Amino acid sequence: MERFILKYFNLIRTIIAFLIGAFICVLIIFIYSKDPSNGLRYFFLGPFSSIGRLGNVIEMASPIILCGLAIAIPFQAEQFNIGAEGALFISAAVATGFGVSTNFPKFIHIPLMLLVAGGVGAFWGFIPGILKAKWKASELVITLMMNYVALYLSLYIINFHFRDKKAGFLVSYQLPKTAWFDQFIKNTRIHYGVLLTIVFIILVYILLYKTKLGYEIRMTGFNINFAKYGGINTFKIILITQIIGGFIAGIAGISEVMGIHRRFNWQGTPGYGWDGVVVAIIGRNHPILIAFASIFIAYLRVSGQVLNLLTDIPAEIVTVLESIIILLITAEAFLTQWKYRITVREAEKREVKIESAS
Amino acid sequence: MSPLLKSILSPSFGFAILRVMTPILFAAIGVAITALSGAINISMEGTMLIAAFFGVIVSAFTQNLLLSFIAGVLAGIGLACILAYFHLKLKADIILAAIALNMFSSGITIFLLYIFAKDKGTSSSLKSLVFPSIQIPIIKDIPILGQIFSGHNILTYLALISVIIFYIITFKTPLGLRIRAVGQNPDAASSVGVNVNKIRFYALVLSGIFGALGGLYLSMGYVSWFARDMTAGRGFIAIAASNLGAHLPFGVFLASLLFGILNTIAIYLASLQIPSEFIQMIPYIATVITLTIYSIQAARKRKER
């Protein structure tokens, strides 16, 4: 048992964090709701109540996964990046502009859209990357600032160049059908962008764990001075992680536009970049764990929507739950005392065994 | 004269700048204090939000300004204490913990807003108070100056005074000296007997207080109600202002003033149907550029050594 705990300590810690968060939320529901049993049922099982809602979980998880990957790659090299939000926004705006003003057959148009979005995102990642690599400018503050530059620049692009004036509010023209990701499961909005997301999970996994570059990225994150003395070009690593991150964030935005809205209809940044930070933390920067974490977060969000619709409990309880989980997971010292005690006990046991054997 | 120029040259423009600047200045001072102690505090967004909320709720239920003031400040301190506990005691990364707290504040305020006001948008169904505006005796009679500087909310004046308070705390008190020492070299500070964690805790609490004042101004001065996510990124603007002003009192003041001016111009432009996006972008780009220049200078210094 003890050895099992030690082996899966991180997973157990995550689960305990979730249980504490869930306990607090259940408590709130019981205190507040007039019909707590119904509330609890929807809170935990809401997304299973129809195929459409289950589809919502998947389609919502997709951009969160991509943003999580976009953030995890710089995180793996110990580079902060909270700029996925901005990269996603500006890429989607530029690529939408490109999409509505060009005309190609589908099999050319879609890859071109993705390339434009990815390229803009990569450029957006290049700026904090080069400033950090060259002069150690805080990538955290720079990416934060660039989120706002991206916000206003995108709104300008859409508002003054590609705005559909027939619509009552600020949206772009609709993309031509050749630039759509088709939805392929009935009663849901699951689109081909979701499949693309799966491809990216695999690609990022291979990049991080099966290539030399990935090894260098992880070494840089592990100990940048050690990596430097070991002959790794950390300048290149810092730059390249931000560029790849920006590229993937760009894909995240345009994939959502092409698959679901079919036009740029955001008035403010949609928050997927922050969600990306969240899932990168919960998934400890591992692509496959990030996918699970994103599905989990999307599941909670859909639960929130169901709660909103069918009970007297506001959806924001889910945000509270999320924030408690993240707080507990980021707290490195949370439960380490416990782990320490188990480790000591385990070591003592082994010593006794060795002594009695001899 | 063009209508834009006309409105910019009117005294009401100057008045608006001070109004817009107030919450940013408070929050920027908060960010700057923690920055001096060596941490980036991105939880201002949450601090302001939660203080704005509790100020309104307490004022709606007690109809007492002093109590709502205390409630707002305590809420800000409370959030700072949670951040301090997780960061200093449980060793959480301060950025990630702050992101979690921002989410928490956004979620919990909307949740409670719905419970108290039966509305998820604003608290306008509750009757809450605002802090009084003040006419300054002699200045109010001077033609243009009076129109710009007199008649502001009391918190606006408090914000201006806070710059001086911030200066005094930082440069004239032992606490300020220790905060700067911990920020520049925690190991050296600790070797001469300074309790690093304790000083960082104080810095976080101070920043919580200033952030809370900014939040209170938003919901009980700038407007008279609480609206969901009403900080609208001002906590992040404050980080920009603090960085732009090199975390020093006068610099932070000038940077906040710049943000105030540009935001006010943007508001005027938007009302005239002129693209205001580029004006709104300027302060962020300016921050990126100044940060880069600071970093280049620091890199040169490292090389010389």
Is residue A41 very low, low, confident or very high in pLDDT (cuts 50, 70, 90)?
confident
Query: Position of tokens 């995108």?
Result: A154
- Per-residue pLDDT for A145 more than 60? yes
Mutate which of A18, A148, A307 to disrupt the B interface (most B C-beta within 10 Å)?
A: A148
A5 touching chain B per CB within 8 A: no
Which is it for the CA torsion A130, A133, A135, A140, positive or negative?
positive
Task: Using alpha carbons, select from A144, A140, A151, A145 the residue that is nearest to residue A75.
Answer: A140
**Contacting B residues, span 88-107, partner chain A, CB-CB under 8 Å:** 89-93, 95-97, 99-101, 103-104, 106-107
Which uninterrupted H or E stretch holds B133?
Answer: strand B133-134
Q: What is the mean pLDDT of residues A3-32?
A: 83
Is residue B98 very low, low, confident or very high in pLDDT (cuts 50, 70, 90)?
very high
**Contacting A residues, span 83-102, partner chain B, CB-CB under 8 Å:** none
Query: Tell me, what's the pLDDT at A358?
Result: 66
Q: What is the mean pLDDT of residues B137-162?
A: 83
| Contact at CB, A330 and B108, closer than 8 angstroms | no
Is residue A187 very low, low, confident or very high in pLDDT (cuts 50, 70, 90)?
confident
Q: How many CB atoms lie within 10 A of CB A308?
A: 19
Query: Tell me, what's the pLDDT at B10?
Result: 80
Could you tell me the end-to-end alpha-carbon distance of chain A, in angstroms, rounded to an integer?
Answer: 25
Task: Give the 3-state secondary structure percentages of chain B, helix then strand then coil, rounded to 5.
Answer: 75, 0, 20
- Per-residue pLDDT for A8 more than 90? no
Query: Tell me, what's the pLDDT at A86?
Result: 93
Q: What is the mean pLDDT of residues B222-234?
A: 85
Q: What is the pLDDT of residues B170-191, one digit of tens each?
A: 999 999 899 999 888 888 888 8
How many Å apart are CA A177 and CA A191, to the nearest integer?
14
Q: Is the pTM of this model over 0.90?
A: no
Q: What is the mean pLDDT of residues B136-158?
A: 81
How many Å apart are CA B220 and CA B214, to the nearest integer?
10
- Per-residue pLDDT for B169 more than 80? yes
Query: Tell me, what's the pLDDT at A137?
Result: 87
Q: What is the pLDDT of residues A264-297, one digit of tens each?
A: 888 888 888 888 998 998 888 999 999 999 998 8
Query: For residue B275, which residues of chain A lie inside 8 Å, CB to CB?
Result: 156, 159-160
Residue B46 near residue B99 (C-beta atoms within 8 A): no
For A320, the closest of B86, B108, B239 (CB atoms) is B108
- Per-residue pLDDT for A18 more than 80? yes
- Per-residue pLDDT for A130 more than 80? yes
Mutate which of A135, A154, A161, A279 to disrupt the B interface (most B C-beta within 10 Å)?
A: A135
Query: Tell me, what's the pLDDT at B151?
Result: 79
How many Å apart are CA B226 and CA B154, to the nearest integer?
19
B299 touching chain A per CB within 8 A: yes
Is residue B135 very low, low, confident or very high in pLDDT (cuts 50, 70, 90)?
confident
| Contact at CB, A149 and B100, closer than 8 angstroms | no
Q: Which two tokens mark B275?
A: 């693209």
Residue A183 near residue A190 (C-beta atoms within 8 A): yes
- Per-residue pLDDT for B24 more than 90? yes
Q: What is the pLDDT of residues A44-58, one digit of tens each?
A: 887 887 888 888 899
Query: Tell me, what's the pLDDT at A102?
Result: 87
A317 touching chain B per CB within 8 A: yes
For A330, the closest of B42, B100, B294 (CB atoms) is B100
- Per-residue pLDDT for B1 more than 60? no
Query: Tell me, what's the pLDDT at A335?
Result: 76
Query: Tell me, what's the pLDDT at B45?
Result: 92
Query: Tell me, what's the pLDDT at A306?
Result: 86
Beta bridge partners of A191: A183
How many Å apart are CA B92 and CA A159, to the nearest integer?
41
Query: Tell me, what's the pLDDT at B80?
Result: 94
- Per-residue pLDDT for B115 more than 60? yes
C-alpha separations of A317 from A40, A44, A295, B114, B192 in Å: 12, 12, 18, 11, 46
Query: Position of tokens 């057959």?
Result: A105
How many Å apart are CA A156 and CA A150, to the nearest integer?
10
ipTM for the complex shown = 0.84
Q: What is the mean pLDDT of residues B29-35?
A: 94
| Contact at CB, A145 and B99, closer than 8 angstroms | no
**Contacting A residues, span 17-36, partner chain B, CB-CB under 8 Å:** 32
Three-state DSSP class for A48?
helix
Q: What is the mean pLDDT of residues B272-283?
A: 77
How many Å apart are CA A227 and CA A218, to the nearest integer?
9
Q: Which two tokens mark A214?
A: 């990935």
- Per-residue pLDDT for A21 more than 70? yes
Mean pLDDT of chain B: 87
Mean pLDDT of chain A: 87
| Contact at CB, A137 and B291, closer than 8 angstroms | yes
Query: Position of tokens 């200078």?
Result: B297
Top mean pLDDT of A172-181, B133-142, B195-204 is at: B195-204
Is residue A205 very low, low, confident or very high in pLDDT (cuts 50, 70, 90)?
very high
Find the angle CA(A26)-CA(A32)-CA(A38) to the nearest 5 degrees.
Answer: 60
How many Å apart are CA B130 and CA B53, to the nearest integer?
13
